[in-house]
Structure 1
Amino acid sequence: MLVILSGLVSTASAFENSQLQWTEGISGKIQRDESLAYMGYSVKAVVFPSPVESNKYKAVPEESVETYVGLEISKTGVFHETVLLTPSESYIVPDEEIKVTVKQLPSGYSKEWLFESYNPWVVVEIESRGIPNLEISVHTDKDDYAPSSEIPVTLTLRNTGTADAVNVDIEILTPLPVKRGQLKYHYNRIEIGDSFTEELTFMSPMVKEHETFQIVADVSGYDVKDIQYSAKIQKNVMILVVSPKCLSIRKSTPGKIYLKDMAMVSISVKNSGDCNLKNVTITDSVPDSIRLVGNHTLSWVTDIPANDEWNYRYLIKSTEPDRNGIEMPPATAKYRFRGEDYTVYSNQPGLVVYGPKIVLSKMVDVSEVTGGSNVKVTVTAENSGNTPTKVTVFDNISLNTTLISEVESYENSIDSGNKIRLGYTYKISGCAESTSDFAAYEDFLESSKSYCNEFVNGIAAYDDFLEANSRISFSYTLRINSNESFKLPDVTTEYYELGNTGDKIYSNIQGPYITILQSEDKKVEETHAETPAPLPSEMPLSSPDLNESHDNITHNVSGDGKFNTFFLSYFWDSSNASFFNVPFNEIKQNHT
């Protein structure tokens, strides 16, 4: 049974418009009374061929069914028409905004057409009409121009839409005079994805004050249905007032220096015009990492007649290295001419500084402990500069602690332990001792605790060259003798500006804070027992016979209550441990 619908269109090919372009839409499989919606349109399957009898021996139609589908098309809920389409046929709605295509129907021998299994379906595709999209840009090489200068302009037109544009026109609107090129362009067709570029040049006019000019590009075009599409863009350019060419200023420095050296900065201001200038104010400045040598204000007021020149030089010194170069700030010259104020700026020369920079750190493995606990201290000195330097690092050992380990060095060198030294300071009362070997010195340390008052302090030190971008670390373990929180001593360093030459540079870093944890169920009583001296004999060393020229220690004291300093330096060499006397007071004086 075939249902004939009122207004049914029997064919759709007559509506195909070959000039229309279509976008990728949607597709779906629908059955009778089901619909597919897209862009406000609805396509509903309403008619299929009538069911047929099956073959006596197979579940297929006796004869092939001529397949088709009747589709009801509506827009925004309003019925438009019903069309009859066979496989691969398309239908374009009257307003040509969408195209409906039957992509697939069951084959003529499909069981979907049988009475006993009648269930026809159709795969429908809906595509929307493509439209052009015109984009235009205006580009200049800069945003401001001097009077009577060329203004090069580049126009770029693109079609980024989904259909070709036809009869496209560009019109340039601007008060600027054209030197090259034209103000109107026409294109018969711009296909999808195509672009066109046009070059033209304007001239900047003379102005009495800064003035902004507009360059407006207006583009319009059409699609195959003669619908217009347009775009507009505006580019602003500034025409500047030219100041009188009176002064020019130049600043120069050496290309590179060492940290120990001074550098000469030269400033030259030339009046190459016809301006007789009075009260010209010239100023300069230096970066934070640069200090002035001598008494300079870097601000001057002077007269500079026409065709005359002003020069000045001063010395600077860098406080830290900079391998990338320090950019010097520009010098300025301010003057007044014909009632107007003007400022000119110099260039910014660079200055590369070669030298060392020692960065210190002092850390503990644990900062909250109970009395009697052990704390490992690690001191690190890193040369973050770009040249080696001879560096001395001092790290005092707190009176609230006892050194219970040897000082271990961590450096990329097999003899790094040779560079760590440990010294002691005692408060002596009427003591005068002289020893000739380490055993005698060890005995003195032990006996002095009983009749030479108390141990005062200890110090670990590093004294050697430190390469650029390298570090030295040493660590030791302390036993906490205090029941009150305290701060470990600071670490200090002194090093040379270059190798072992130049001035010494001093710096320090705060020692970490040790927090003593108190027991909640037991009151901790403070004790004032003397802190025993950290005896070198407690350290696991194997010492052969010693050289007397290096281990003699003499103590001369005049009067009670004086301080006498002993500095014990030792090599951490498992095959040959030796000791020699070093005057610690000299190191302390140098450090001070």
Structure 2
Amino acid sequence: MKSTILLKYILIVLLYISSSCLLVQAWEDKDLTYWTDEKSDKLYWGETFDNDIYTVEAYDFPRTGIKGQIGTPYVGVNLYKDGELVYSDSMLTFDFFKYDGEVLVKVVDLMPNSDIHWQDDTYEPWAKIEIALRGLPDLDIDVETEKSDDKDTFKLTNSKIPVTINIKNEGDAPLEDVDIYIDTDGLEFYSFTTSTKTHHTEDIIEDGASITEISFELEIPSHMKDTEYNISVNVTGIDQKDEMHNFTDGKEITVLNMINITKTTKSEIFMTDTAFVQLIIRNDGAYAVNNIELRDSIPNYFELVGSSLLQWNFNMAPGQNRDFKYTIKPIKPDMDGYDLPAADATWEVGGIEYDQTCTKPEIIVHGSKILLEKTVSPTQVERNENVTVTIKATNVGDVKASVEIFDNDLLPDNVTIVSGETYTKSPKIIGEENSISLTYIISASENGTYELPQATAKFHDLQGYHSEEISASPEFIAGSPPLLPGETPRPGYTPTPTPTPTPVPSPTREQPGFGILAGLMGLSMAVLLALRR
């Protein structure tokens, strides 16, 4: 009786151990048929070579007999993992072994008996050994939203978001028992879409195979601010060793504000033209927005035609459009163009303030544009030394212009014209990047710092645009300027000596009554001398 009970316990333990083994390893070596990263080398006795974390060593070969011959060629192979010996075997040609289902070691070739010449050569056997690593699945997941502009931004006017998922196994082994999970990040499936599944299955995805049939459409929600979503895909499955693999990828998209503003104007005008600016604001959402404040502004070098304040307040129903117009006129040309400022709108819902802006349209203004420069040379001279004044007018616009230069304003005191004219005698026509100039000479009769008056260039073109440009006011110094603390005189400069005035002797001042007093004292001395006698 006791022996029967004991036998039952032994059977139970054996069944438990067997089931545990099955749980630990449900795969067999014969199941492992996908290998990659094959490397081979010709090894002599004691040599090694590596493949990733594995190293093989040819540690043994046959011994030669008395006549220098060997029996069956073989090689003793050691396998190391991370430097630690994990397996050894003696192997013939084409023999192989697999270790832990992770590495395949194969003897490709051995030195034949015919290569042994005992009388002539030292015995140096060799073996060509190959190491291959277990192939693994590697999925490439691509989520596309079929946007032609590749910006992955959607407006409510797009009506829906089409999504296509492509999965390709770019690894070296299949992935089996595949589960595909789709997360739309809260976006709902389009009402008329053909598929609303977020879980798909596949028996196997072979290496090199692709899955391209997963596609669906999503609704575009109404938001009062730009909102980002991440459509993600997670794929799980097992490999040849029943090990689990997990692959994830996704696509970020942006659903734009339901309030949309568009600002447009002419792309090119001339200086005598005006530009018409139009603002269109749309409510693409599913509900009304009240008390919207829309504001715009005028860029530099433009002026507003009319009396608009460029500020509007209004309400908008779902799907409603509003448009506003005004006119601007250029003040200065620029062939590189001006960026008009972005208009902006603000509104409040439930105590939260929202806003929206628009893009900045560019406008090119054609016309003649004169750059006027007035310079002096040198900027520091002696008294009465000549100073050259140059005024140069350059057309930096893209339209020819007729230009005149005037520099007739009064010069500072003590400065006079030595030679030359201070104005052009007749207009000159200059094209793009061309220039005209005039030069005259002045001098200063006294020491000091002198600021010259501004010059003026008057011009017009054949489009009827006319204007004038003012130069800066250059300065020059006559004589030696007073030195600042710690400053040394400029090199090579000898100041003009200032004559020292000749001293004039001061007249002797006579005190009143001094002569009379001296006479009385002399008379008293004479009387005293006479009495002593």
- In structure 2, what is the equivalent of residue 96 of structure 1? 101
> C-alpha distance in 1, partners of 2:55/2:283?
82
Letter in 1 for 2:77: L
The offset of 1:318, in angstroms, is: 1.3
> C-alpha distance in 2, partners of 1:455/1:209?
70
Distance 1:23 1:489, change over 3 A: farther
Partner SS for 2:99? coil
Q: Does 1:494 align with 2:457?
A: yes
Partner SS for 1:70? strand
- In structure 2, what is the equivalent of residue 557 of structure 1? none
- In structure 2, what is the equivalent of residue 524 of structure 1? 494
> C-alpha distance in 2, partners of 1:328/1:317?
12
Letter in 2 for 1:328: L
> C-alpha distance in 1, partners of 2:239/2:164?
26
Q: Does 1:466 align with 2:430?
A: yes
> C-alpha distance in 2, partners of 1:525/1:22?
94
Q: Does 1:290 align with 2:302?
A: yes
After superposition, residues 157-172 of structure 1 pair within 5 angstroms as 157-172=167-182
Distance 1:69 1:480, change over 3 A: farther
- In structure 1, what is the equivalent of residue 469 of structure 2? 506
Identify which of 37, 45, 51 aligns with 1:24.
Answer: 37
Give yes or no for contact 1:265–1:316 (8 Å, CA) kept in 2.
Answer: yes
> C-alpha distance in 2, partners of 1:270/1:47?
84
Q: Does 1:74 align with 2:80?
A: yes
The offset of 1:305, in angstroms, is: 12
The offset of 1:132, in angstroms, is: 0.8
Letter in 2 for 1:32: W
- In structure 1, what is the equivalent of residue 271 of structure 2? 259
Q: Deviations over 1:281-327 (max 9, x none)?
A: 55321112312356654335689999x99997655321332446545
Letter in 2 for 1:219: V
- In structure 1, what is the equivalent of residue 21 of structure 2? none
Say which is worse superposed, 364-373 or 180-189, in terms of deviation: 364-373
Q: Deviations over 1:557-580 (max 9, x none)?
A: xxxxxxxxxxxxxxxxxxxxxxxx
Partner SS for 1:353? strand
Give yes or no for contact 1:251–1:267 (8 Å, CA) kept in 2.
Answer: yes
The offset of 1:241, in angstroms, is: 9.4
> C-alpha distance in 1, partners of 2:232/2:340?
42
Distance 1:96 1:310, change over 3 A: closer
Q: Deviations over 1:520-557 (max 9, x none)?
A: 898712379xxxxxxxxxxxxxxxxxxxxxxxxxxxxx
> C-alpha distance in 2, partners of 1:173/1:253?
43
> C-alpha distance in 2, partners of 1:23/1:86?
23
> C-alpha distance in 2, partners of 1:294/1:147?
34
- In structure 1, what is the equivalent of residue 331 of structure 2? 319
- In structure 1, what is the equivalent of residue 126 of structure 2? 121
> C-alpha distance in 2, partners of 1:208/1:317?
37
The offset of 1:493, in angstroms, is: 5.3
Letter in 1 for 2:53: G
- In structure 2, what is the equivalent of residue 180 of structure 1? 194
Letter in 1 for 2:160: E
Distance 1:425 1:359, change over 3 A: closer
The offset of 1:499, in angstroms, is: 3.9
Letter in 1 for 2:210: S
Letter in 2 for 1:38: N
Say which is worse superposed, 123-132 or 368-377, in terms of deviation: 368-377
Partner SS for 2:402? strand
- In structure 1, what is the equivalent of residue 207 of structure 2? 192
> C-alpha distance in 2, partners of 1:278/1:343?
13
Distance 1:193 1:50, change over 3 A: same
Q: Deviations over 1:426-468 (max 9, x none)?
A: 999xxxxxxxxxxxxxxxxxxxxxxxx9645645766511212
Q: Does 1:220 align with 2:236?
A: yes
- In structure 2, what is the equivalent of residue 389 of structure 1? 401
After superposition, residues 269-308 of structure 1 pair within 5 angstroms as 281-293=293-305, 297-299=309-311
Identity %: 25
- In structure 2, what is the equivalent of residue 549 of structure 1? none
> C-alpha distance in 2, partners of 1:514/1:53?
113
Q: Which has the larger radius of gyration?
A: 2
- In structure 2, what is the equivalent of residue 152 of structure 1? 162
When normalised by structure 2's length, the TM-score is 0.62
Give yes or no for contact 2:419–2:441 (8 Å, CA) kept in 1.
Answer: no
The offset of 1:43, in angstroms, is: 1.5
Mark the runs of 5 or more structure 1 residues left unpaired by the alignment.
Answer: 1-14, 55-60, 397-423, 429-452, 529-592
Distance 1:124 1:114, change over 3 A: farther
Partner SS for 1:285? coil
Give yes or no for contact 2:412–2:451 (8 Å, CA) kept in 1.
Answer: no
Give yes or no for contact 1:65–1:113 (8 Å, CA) kept in 2.
Answer: no
When normalised by structure 1's length, the TM-score is 0.56
Q: Deviations over 1:233-292 (max 9, x none)?
A: 46677889968xxxx98866556432134445567889999x999977553211123123
Distance 1:472 1:108, change over 3 A: farther
Distance 1:110 1:52, change over 3 A: farther
Partner SS for 1:390? strand
Give yes or no for contact 1:167–1:186 (8 Å, CA) kept in 2.
Answer: yes
> C-alpha distance in 1, partners of 2:82/2:109?
26
> C-alpha distance in 1, partners of 2:451/2:334?
33
Letter in 2 for 1:286: I
- In structure 1, what is the equivalent of residue 13 of structure 2? none
- In structure 1, what is the equivalent of residue 529 of structure 2? none
Mark the runs of 5 or more structure 2 residues left unpaired by the alignment.
Answer: 1-27, 481-486, 499-533
Give yes or no for contact 2:261–2:356 (8 Å, CA) kept in 1.
Answer: yes
